[in-house]
């Protein structure tokens, strides 16, 4: 069980994010930065236990984060801060020896240079991420407080007199008209691994999955040097979403598949826009069951309700793999850019997801899911027993000219083709150290 005073909060239980700033930086002068890092570790960084206390105080209404905008005034203004470092950043601060190969190669190499994980187009990457960054500060909470916190940090602990130089600042915000949803229109953040010893009470609640995940899947422990205990690898990805393109694709394809556009959309993701799982509610959305997560695919061998390639079946195959855990990620992203308005022309807006996930091994987390599941047309393997090739995840599949298998509204098996609706603008792999490790890095 991790020490909650040592663990940074975004890993678990998660920093609350109505608004978030990602402050990417490079360390120019280590001796000047070290004392600032000490101050950050001692007085600024939010620990898991600190966040738990904040949550109790802040969320007057249990459902405030997901609830309608009208309930927002119940949220007390707040800001939480976490910090993570790339391989180069860790080394500058004297910590070598983390074992994760993808982390050590960096994301640019892993995702663009043919190591088989993804097919990111180098041209679409922000220069900042091509060049690499040493670290990132995550500042999360309510807008005014988060902006004020950044201003304060820039005056006190960041900047040239503190040995750091800003590389890129990205801002994400919960969608105003549909809080808790992402740009394609779907409720996000419903299904997360529940950690043994930490989430046991949650796992007993109605609608939750009762399966508990070993915390070692998300939080680093025995497979890394002892100084890395109570940390986690963080994969950050800036993922641009082509929303008008996604919507018009669905409108065009739905009639030929004997579905309404809403039914087809639900089958591409595996949940309706409300969040209700299409596996359990195949015909119409059921917003009352938006949070339902205690379902499985075992009884749906012919994938009539939920296509094998649907985003959530690809990324979390549940019973398709006999419910083996060990390949879980803790997702902590936030949308960026303006909300879609209907009637919008194609491509006017840069909008998408500032995707973040935590895991104790990128090889078993982000990289594994991307390579072996999302972009593997034969996954999940159970499909082969009914002679079906599932195809590529329609939400995250990275290549051009993807296709997936889908049973249409009249029960006929069909195949649909699509270019990806999400484009990577780059990112980086980071390590998020425990608070004691931050203090060690701050002192030599």
352: contact with ligand N7H by CB under 6 A: yes
362: contact with ligand N7H by CB under 6 A: no
- CB distance 145 to 27 below 8 Å: no
Q: Closest approach of Cβ 152 to ligand N7H, in Å? A: 31
Which range binds ligand N7H by CB under 6 A, 26-34, 79-87, 226-234, 351-359? 351-359
d(CA 244, CA 246): 5
Binders in 400-429 for ligand N7H, by CB under 6 A: 422
Residue whose token pair is 């930065």:
33
Q: Closest approach of Cβ 191 to ligand N7H, in Å? A: 3
Is the Cβ of residue 93 or residue 374 nearer to ligand N7H in the bound state?
Answer: 374
Q: Closest approach of Cβ 174 to ligand N7H, in Å? A: 14
239: contact with ligand N7H by CB under 6 A: yes
Binding residues for ligand N7H, total number by CB under 6 A:
26
Which range binds ligand N7H by CB under 6 A, 31-39, 279-287, 311-319, 428-436? 311-319
CA-to-CA dists, residue 113 to 101, 130, 140, 381, angstroms: 14, 12, 32, 27
Based on its alpha-carbon atoms, the radius of gyration of the chain, rounded to whole angstroms, reads 21
Q: Which residues belong to the active site?
A: 188
Is the Cβ of residue 145 or residue 183 nearer to ligand N7H in the bound state?
Answer: 183
Is the Cβ of residue 84 or residue 310 nearer to ligand N7H in the bound state?
Answer: 310
364: contact with ligand N7H by CB under 6 A: no
Is the Cβ of residue 141 or residue 337 nearer to ligand N7H in the bound state?
Answer: 337
For β-strands 212-213 and 232-241, DSSP reports them as: unpaired
- CB distance 272 to 291 below 8 Å: no
Position among 395, 407, 416, 437 found at the interface with ligand N7H (CB under 6 A): 395
Burial of 166 (0-12, 13-18, 19+ CB in 10 A): middle
327: contact with ligand N7H by CB under 6 A: no
Crossing angle of helices 30-39 and 435-443, in 10° steps, is: 150
Two tokens, residue 114: 């043919």
Phi, psi angle pair for 225, to nearest 5°: -55, 150
311: contact with ligand N7H by CB under 6 A: yes
Q: Closest approach of Cβ 346 to ligand N7H, in Å? A: 17
d(CA 433, CA 431): 6
278: contact with ligand N7H by CB under 6 A: no
Position among 66, 369, 392, 442 found at the interface with ligand N7H (CB under 6 A): 369
Q: Closest approach of Cβ 110 to ligand N7H, in Å? A: 13
Element (H, E) at 54: helix 48-58
Q: Closest approach of Cβ 349 to ligand N7H, in Å? A: 14
Position among 191, 213, 274, 279 found at the interface with ligand N7H (CB under 6 A): 191
d(CA 374, CA 363): 14
Element (H, E) at 262: helix 261-269
For residue 28, what are the contacts with CB-CB under 8 A and spacing of at least 6? 160, 163, 164, 165
d(CA 34, CA 29): 9
366: contact with ligand N7H by CB under 6 A: yes
Tell me the residue ranges of DSSP E strands in 181-319: 194-195, 212-213, 232-241
198: contact with ligand N7H by CB under 6 A: no
For residue 114, what are the contacts with CB-CB under 8 A and spacing of at least 6? none
Two tokens, residue 346: 């194609």
Is the Cβ of residue 149 or residue 183 nearer to ligand N7H in the bound state?
Answer: 183
Is the Cβ of residue 66 or residue 158 nearer to ligand N7H in the bound state?
Answer: 66
Contact footprint for ligand N7H (CB under 6 A): 182, 184, 186, 188-191, 239, 241, 269, 271, 311-312, 315-316, 329, 331, 352-353, 355, 366, 369-370, 395-396, 422
């Amino acid at each position: 069980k991790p020490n909650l005073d040592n663990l940074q909060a975004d890993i678990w239980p998660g920093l609350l994010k109505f608004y978030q700033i990602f402050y990417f930086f490079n360390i120019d002068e280590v001796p000047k930065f070290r004392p600032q890092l000490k101050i950050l570790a001692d007085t600024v960084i939010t620990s898991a236990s600190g966040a738990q206390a904040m949550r109790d105080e802040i969320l007057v209404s249990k459902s405030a984060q997901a609830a309608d905008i009208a309930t927002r005034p119940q949220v007390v203004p707040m800001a939480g801060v976490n910090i993570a470092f790339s391989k180069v950043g860790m080394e500058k601060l004297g910590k070598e020896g983390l074992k994760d190969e993808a982390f050590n190669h960096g994301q640019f190499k892993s995702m663009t240079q043919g190591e088989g994980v993804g097919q990111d187009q180098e041209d679409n990457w922000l220069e900042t991420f091509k060049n690499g960054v040493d670290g990132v500060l995550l500042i999360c909470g309510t807008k005014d407080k988060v902006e004020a916190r950044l201003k304060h940090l820039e005056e006190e602990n960041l900047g040239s007199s503190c040995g750091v130089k800003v590389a890129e600042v990205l801002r994400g915000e919960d969608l105003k008209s549909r809080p808790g949803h992402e740009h394609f229109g779907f409720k996000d953040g419903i299904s997360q691994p529940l950690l043994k010893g930490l989430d046991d009470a949650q796992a007993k609640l109605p609608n939750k999955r009762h399966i508990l995940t070993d915390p070692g899947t998300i939080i680093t422990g025995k497979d890394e040097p002892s100084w890395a205990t109570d940390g986690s690898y963080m994969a950050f990805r800036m993922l641009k979403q082509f929303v008008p393109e996604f919507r018009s694709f669905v409108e065009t394809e739905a009639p030929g598949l004997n579905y309404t556009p809403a039914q087809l959309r639900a089958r591409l993701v595996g949940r309706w826009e409300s969040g209700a799982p299409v596996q359990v509610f195949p015909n119409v959305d059921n917003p009352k069951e938006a949070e339902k997560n205690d379902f499985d695919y075992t009884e749906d061998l012919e994938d009539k309700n939920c296509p094998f390639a649907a985003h959530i079946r690809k990324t979390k195959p549940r019973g398709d793999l006999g419910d083996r855990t060990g390949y879980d990620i803790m997702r902590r992203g936030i949308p960026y850019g303006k909300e879609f308005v209907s009637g919008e022309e194609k491509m006017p807006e840069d909008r998408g997801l500032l995707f973040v996930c935590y895991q104790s091994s990128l090889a078993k987390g982000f990289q594994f899911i991307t390579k072996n599941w999302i972009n593997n047309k034969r996954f999940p393997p159970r499909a082969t027993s009914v002679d079906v090739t599932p195809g590529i995840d329609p939400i995250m599949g990275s290549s051009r000219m993807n296709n997936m298998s889908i049973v249409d509204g009249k029960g006929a098996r069909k195949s649909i083709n699509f270019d990806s609706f999400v484009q990577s603008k780059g990112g980086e792999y980071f390590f998020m150290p425990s608070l004691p490790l931050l203090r060690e890095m701050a002192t030599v």
